[in-house]
Amino acid sequence: MKKILVTGGCGFIGSHTIVDLIENGFEVISVDDNSRSSQTTLLGIEKITGKKVKNYKVDLKNFEETHAIFQENKDIKGIIHFAAYKAVGESVEQPLMYYENNMFGLINLLKCVKEFAVPYFVFSSSCTVYGNPDKIPVTEKSPTKKAESPYGATKQMGETLITDFSFIEKTNSILLRYFNPVGAHPSCEIGELPLGKPMNLIPAITQTAIGKIEKMYVHGNDYATRDGSCIRDYIHVCDIAHAHTLALQYLINNKNHSNADIFNLGTGDGVTVLEAIKMFEAISNLKLNYEIGPRRPGDVVAIYANNNLAVEQLGWKIKYGLKEMMQTAWDWELKLKREKDLLKQQAKLN
């Protein structure tokens, strides 16, 4: 059984990918400093898979502690690297923190890949590397323009770093460019746990609907799109997770054409903010409390994927549509509220 190291394994996409890897016969260990995630996520993974996943609570910026993980696990066959800060707005306010965290962590990891000759490396990249595209849908050959944020810049630099490294070290790497990962595992045992006020659209919708947030704002409805609001390619987190398993299997079976093949992970369908809200209202039978607000700086007007490469080369089949994305996100929010109410009741009884 091949052992895979997942960095950021307690996070949103990392945890869903661990479930998929285990269900496809891989042995998994995680490294996550839990600065933006919780170890309780591992309990959810265990409930779904029956497997206890070991997490090394290590900051990848600490080379000695990162190196020690590889000393202890000389049989690591592959790495899937999620651990990074990813809030676009925060990255604009704190660029140095983003460049230090996202780049130093990656560099330390690659030093270990080299020393321990780890053959397979999958990188969590992002459609933000395309900037504001001139032509949509974007293919993997679409030009990467100046990133709209330091976050996007760290993804662009990460891709360059890994490509140069993999070419010289003959590592087999893959760069997966996610569009907008949303939703939650159908079991409701794992899902997205945004820290503080959610930046992203779907958690903002579900937290407004559940009452955690009084009202949400649509950031602009005066764009040149069919209803004036921005267009994105929302993709279920479980579909994203399975693409990572397929990417590893693609490398293990020597199907890659270069040392850093690139794949878009999106549905290929563009959905506007207002359409996403309408879909949520339809599945929840609720009227969402929102207002049209000002545009958000750095927002891309419209982007969605041409995903042919991932479908044809990885054998990727998308299972979830927008309805299920909204339904699973809402079910997860409802579950979190039930758990919170239960804790409140227990506190009253004690």
- Is 151 annotated as catalytic? yes
- State both tokens at 140: 């993997």
* Least distance to ligand WQD, CB of residue 150, Å: 12
* Least distance to ligand WQD, CB of residue 230, Å: 3
CB burial string 174-211: b at 16+ within 10 A, e below: bbbbbbbbbbbbeebbbbbbbeeebebbbbbbbbbbbe
| Closer by beta carbon to ligand WQD, 33 or else 148 | 148
- Which residue among 56, 98, 120, 151 is the active-site one? 151
| Closer by beta carbon to ligand WQD, 76 or else 230 | 230
Query: 76-81 and 120-126 as β-strands: parallel, antiparallel, unpaired?
Result: parallel
C-alpha pair distances (Å), 256 with each of 82, 172, 246, 298 = 21, 8, 12, 34
Q: How far apart are CA 93 and CA 82, in angstroms?
A: 22
| Closer by beta carbon to ligand WQD, 190 or else 329 | 329
* Least distance to ligand WQD, CB of residue 115, Å: 29
| Closer by beta carbon to ligand WQD, 167 or else 217 | 217
* Least distance to ligand WQD, CB of residue 10, Å: 17
Q: What is the DSSP string of 96-161?
A: HHHHHHHHHHHHHHHHHHHHTT--EEEEEEEGGGG-S-SSSSB-TTSPP---SSHHHHHHHHHHHH
* Least distance to ligand WQD, CB of residue 334, Å: 20
Residues that bind ligand WQD (CB under 6 A): 86, 88, 126-128, 178, 180, 199-201, 204, 216-219, 230, 232, 273, 296, 299
| Closer by beta carbon to ligand WQD, 52 or else 197 | 197
Q: How far apart are CA 167 and CA 347, in angstroms?
A: 57
Q: How far apart are CA 20 and CA 246, in angstroms?
A: 10
Sign of the alpha-carbon torsion through 109, 179, 306, 219: negative
Show which residues are catalytic.
151
